[in-house]
Amino acid sequence: MLLALDLNDARPLHEQVASSIRRAIAEGSYAPGDRLPPARDLAQALGINANTVLRALRDLRDEGLLEFRRGRGVSVAGRADGRAQLVARVRELLEEAGKLGYGRDDLIAMLKELS
């Protein structure tokens, strides 16, 4: 998995890590059931603290995207392909909209115009 962090991004590092993992799953780099590298390995590769990576992984677990299994590590949840991928794409849309000066309410208004 090739993750990259943008040090110029105002978002906290754990959010950037979570976003990168979401994107990798959404793009098919990881399929349901696939194991992710250990948090220590990810942290070392990114040059950040392992607790930062663990926080991102916990956030993704809480979203239903990842499963933690004692003794087996972290894997992509079996239901990660449906709603979780859509949520990941919506988060990316919100991030992109924020960079362009649009907020959540602006996006909701745009969606209502389309329906």
Nearest to 75 by CA among 15, 26, 29, 31: 31
Which tens digit of pLDDT belongs to each residue from 7-30? 888 889 999 999 899 888 877 888
In this predicted structure, what is the pLDDT of residue 36? 94
pTM (global) more than 0.85: no
pLDDT digits (tens, 9 = 90+) for 32-76: 899 999 999 999 999 999 999 999 999 999 988 899 988 889 999
Q: 112 pLDDT exceeds 80?
A: yes
d(CA 110, CA 106): 6
